[in-house]
Amino acid sequence: MTPLHVAIIMDGNGRWAARRGLPRQAGHVKGGDAVRRAVEFAAQQRIGVLTLYAFSADNWRRPGAEICALLALFEEYLRTQIDRCQRAGVRLSVVGRRDRLPPSLRRAVVRAEHCTRLGTALHLRIAIDYSARDAIWMAAERMIREGAGTREAFARRLRSGCGEDVDVPDVDLLVRTGGERRLSDFLLWESAYAELCFIDVPWPDFSDEHFADALSQYGRRERRFGAVGEEPKVDYVAAGGVGGPVVHGGPAGNGAPDL
């Protein structure tokens, strides 16, 4: 039984702050509270993998002050959530480029990944300085240098190029908050057959009820992966804080947000 992989584009922090006459940084801080809620809810629902889009490669175009505030917020989150993740059995990892991150943030990433490496209740992946196009391009370059291979080998190169050292299933459900309807260069390869759910509320207002509704929508959809005929139904119910197991009908080996 393959664990459910939910990916979330956490969009709308800046607009949430602007509507309240607050600086954008205030929206990012409030968005951090939503991250903690989502992680706790995902662990309760027995979701296997939760990938959060925190900072895209294109977000470097933003004002320097906002970038500094975001990077500082990421570092604080990694430092302060280690104990909580360990107690909850959450494994934390960061995907994306690391060479452009400040040294102190890189050290925080390494420490968080090391301290939580034994977690089995939930694999929390945070995408920082991430671009799906760049990741695919780098994996293709490696394939050319190292010789021909299989689709599975390409997927492994794709993961390793983003700092991933374990097999991660393809995305089953991709949620975007904030009202926009686009993928913004996020997990394009891994989301080839993902079910998409767009939610109009900004990320700071994303609640357990919104998460539960997205899971319920996913459970009502029939996933045929290009085939014709009846596929095994997804048995997933998110109600009252209790989630059920997931049965997939897919092929074996599932092969710039406004933060």
* Catalytic residue positions, numbered: 11, 59
Those residues with Cβ within 8 angstroms of residue 170's Cβ, 6 or more apart along the chain or in another chain = 5, 190, 191, 192, 193, 194, 250, 254, 255
- Cα dihedral sign, 189-198-32-83: negative
The single-letter code of the amino acid at 94 is V
* Cα 31 from Cα 10, distance rounded (Å): 8
Kindly list the distances between the CA atom of residue 234 and the CA atoms of 30, 135, 231, in Å, as whole numbers in the listed order. 33, 30, 9
Torsion angles phi and psi, residue 191, rounded to 5 = -105, 20
